[in-house]
Chains A and B, each alone.
Chain A
């Protein structure tokens, strides 16, 4: 009976797994997965594209800013060069005036020098010193201070050392009373006449920072950017925050600047990113250094940042909207299909499935429909088979208590008793009782081969009395076959057939041979008789139910074949070999299954 249970639908999920599925079902829904992956892909692409764009634009912006800054610094450089040239021109004029003057103390020279002084705002003083550091002449005519230590000052020592014009670092001019000025000094050894005598002396011209300041102040490099000037030694000539630098409150990383004469680079020594552009003045060796704050000059970058931020936000929103729509489009037929299939699973096999949508989904629903159709067919068939089987069983049951058989048998018993053949009566009754015991066998449909063989023996014993020893019978069985299971009452209809249709009609003494053996895990039982045999037509009709046997038990051979087919599969069942006048052999083949434990008590050793 285990097999017959299998037709039921295992479509319902097992109750144990149900909770877990419900927990993550929302997260695993196809729509969500599609939405998420679509969005992820779209965002990823947008991010990659925009970061590439950003890098490209930012680079361009940076280059532009850099170029712009270089141009500004170039301009300052040019102006400063002009200014320095102007300074040296003034110096040359003054030098010429001093050297050509007939005497250093001539009023004409003083007048000329005064004119020169008043021509330019940035001139602080013009003076001539002896190589020993004594003041000779100068304008404006100031009083010298004492303790000036001018011999150790750079403008003085440089003039003594070389014959070229020398430019000093910015310093405090402490020579003249009245003011301490921050100046740049230009000095050179010259010759002058004093009292007709040609003497060597040092000409000193001090310039203040006004013009340099003005030049540098024009530089606008962003809101906080600036330019400063460095001399060749790294002293700051001019810085918009000069005082802060001097007080040590600001720091300018001049080392890399000193290393290069013409360069632009990014500096982070102050903690902030700054663009530094360096240009060097040929004449003085001064360097003009432009400083621009990176985050200021690349405002384009910040704008770009903002634009890209909103762009990305828009892209993400669009991506989400589109992917929600798309995933709905894809997922809804699937979900519909899923709902229908669920209905089917719950037992409504007549639910039609007509889901349209994607090709695959359509195909799926079509095939599912086909499958459903087939299932319905199969179920009908099963129902039919079940009914047939039940009918067969009923018929078997009827045969078991076939009153005709019982009546004949009891008649025979009575006749034997009348003749006083007590021995035979006892045998008859015993066989009859055992026959019925096995027939009933507690209502089980399955019995052992041993029991089935016993059953048929009892039957044959009874029948042999009835047919007045018109036939003999022989049962041969291998020992190993006996414990296997078989369906009850498969031999009796065949033997009955052999008796009524084969042997009874035959004039010769009949012989029925029954053998059971195991062949390749199959149980093969043969029932042979030497009766009249069958025509081919009859043979064909037997299994297809075309003819109904006239005097048979009514159970029929077909019933046996069907039962075996139902229990063991259609490939098993009966085979007939028959030859007219020669006899018939019926072979029953079915698989050797399940040795029954309880067989010993019924089996005994009664096989002959």
Chain B
């Protein structure tokens, strides 16, 4: 009986101790911002509104989560070697994490594996990379985006006519021709968008995709390609452009030639100049992604991966088709026009 009382006393002491100590330690549910993390973000290109917005989002997240963000990008989307060496640099500098928008699906696979070997988590953003070691992919579903573009363009053409596609590539024109058959060195998002578009267009017997051109990363090249396309195909009724550079080039050409009544165009991404083109009727619609979200979430998940928090394998930030009617919807305003202070 005495023993029983003693045991009770001891138990009570333990209980009191537990209650006392439990008041003091609580695990935070949010990401701790006590230590600075070095995260390197390497995107496809160092110019263009799209990548700026990605950077903006990344910076917002960097500020929020106490990240020292190093933003790197080659001058051109086709400069795979430069991108690879940038990733190698980041590995050598022992970045805490690397966020990569790969210009080439296969071209950067090896260097990503190498980063994983050094235990540096790699987050891919916007464009996927052919490595199983990537922690997560943050971006839109490119195949779906291509389908959306095709759906609207075919609709605008009432289901018949010739269509030209202006896509982008990682390799210069010469390389593209010699290489494309053997190994897929293209950017994953470009391929997927094109595939989505063509697969959708294939359902319409009266729709003919007469030409697919690839621009590397300059508006002037895109303009040149558009002019060639218009010359080669006088009956061309629609143009689909699959990234920002291509869209701006093609838009400029159509606007300057005054073809906006003759040729329907569905563009990709939204820069202010793109929206001007949309508002004055040169471009009928544009497929937009969520570059700000991409940048923000990429950094956020990189931090979470570093914290040891489980990150989803794939984060779809979605795509949307914007036209004159819905561009000023409040929810779309918020997407189209980044709030810049």
Please say whether chains A and B are actual partners in one complex. yes
How many whole Å from A51's CB to the nearest CB in chain B?
8
CA distance A243 to B335 in the complex (A): 9
Task: From the candidates B33, B272, B293, name the one contacting A247 in the complex (CB within 8 A).
Answer: B293
Chain B residues with Cβ under 8 A from A246's Cβ?
A: 334-335, 339
Count of B interface residues, CB-CB < 8 Å: 42
Count of A interface residues, CB-CB < 8 Å: 47
Task: From the candidates B2, B20, B339, name the one contacting A182 in the complex (CB within 8 A).
Answer: B339
A27 touching B276 in the complex, CB below 8 Å, given contacts A47-B16, A235-B330, A244-B296: no
Q: Does B279 contact A (CB under 8 A)?
A: yes
Is A147 in contact with B16, judged by CB distance below 8 angstroms?
A: no
A47 touching B20 in the complex, CB below 8 Å, given contacts A145-B276, A243-B339, A247-B57: yes
How many whole Å from A40's CB to the nearest CB in chain B?
5
Stretch at the interface among A169-177, A403-411, A518-526, A596-604: A169-177
Is B3 in contact with A24, judged by CB distance below 8 angstroms?
A: yes
Chain B residues with Cβ under 8 A from A305's Cβ?
A: 23-24
Chain A residues with Cβ under 8 A from B297's Cβ?
A: 249
Is B16 in contact with A172, judged by CB distance below 8 angstroms?
A: no
Q: Does B130 contact A (CB under 8 A)?
A: no
Is B335 in contact with A180, judged by CB distance below 8 angstroms?
A: no
Is B279 in contact with A241, judged by CB distance below 8 angstroms?
A: no
Q: Does B338 contact A (CB under 8 A)?
A: yes
Is B9 in contact with A40, judged by CB distance below 8 angstroms?
A: yes
Is B29 in contact with A272, judged by CB distance below 8 angstroms?
A: yes
Is B2 in contact with A28, judged by CB distance below 8 angstroms?
A: yes
Is A244 in contact with B30, judged by CB distance below 8 angstroms?
A: no
Is B275 in contact with A180, judged by CB distance below 8 angstroms?
A: yes
Q: Across the interface, name the chain B residue whose C-beta is closest to A44.
A: B16
Q: Does A179 contact B (CB under 8 A)?
A: yes
CA distance A146 to B57 in the complex (A): 31
Chain B residues with Cβ under 8 A from A318's Cβ?
A: none
CA distance A39 to B339 in the complex (A): 62
Q: Does A242 contact B (CB under 8 A)?
A: yes
Interface residues of A in 151-205 (CB under 8 A from B): 153, 169, 171-172, 174, 177, 179-180, 182
CA distance A205 to B148 in the complex (A): 38
Q: Does B60 contact A (CB under 8 A)?
A: yes
How many whole Å from A242's CB to the nearest CB in chain B?
4
How many whole Å from A420's CB to the nearest CB in chain B?
88
Q: Does A33 contact B (CB under 8 A)?
A: yes
B residues lining the A interface (CB < 8 Å): 2-3, 6, 9-10, 12-13, 16-17, 19-20, 23-24, 29-30, 33, 56-57, 60, 64, 272, 275-276, 279-281, 290, 292-293, 296-297, 324, 328, 330, 333-339, 341
Q: Which 8 A-B pairs have the closest CB atoms?
A: A246-B334, A242-B339, A247-B293, A172-B333, A243-B339, A247-B292, A172-B337, A147-B279
Enumerate 25 A-B pairs (CB-CB under 8 Å) in ascending A order.
A27-B3, A28-B2, A33-B2, A40-B9, A44-B16, A47-B16, A47-B19, A145-B279, A146-B280, A172-B328, A174-B328, A180-B272, A180-B275, A210-B341, A235-B330, A242-B339, A243-B57, A243-B338, A244-B296, A245-B334, A247-B293, A247-B335, A248-B293, A272-B30, A312-B20
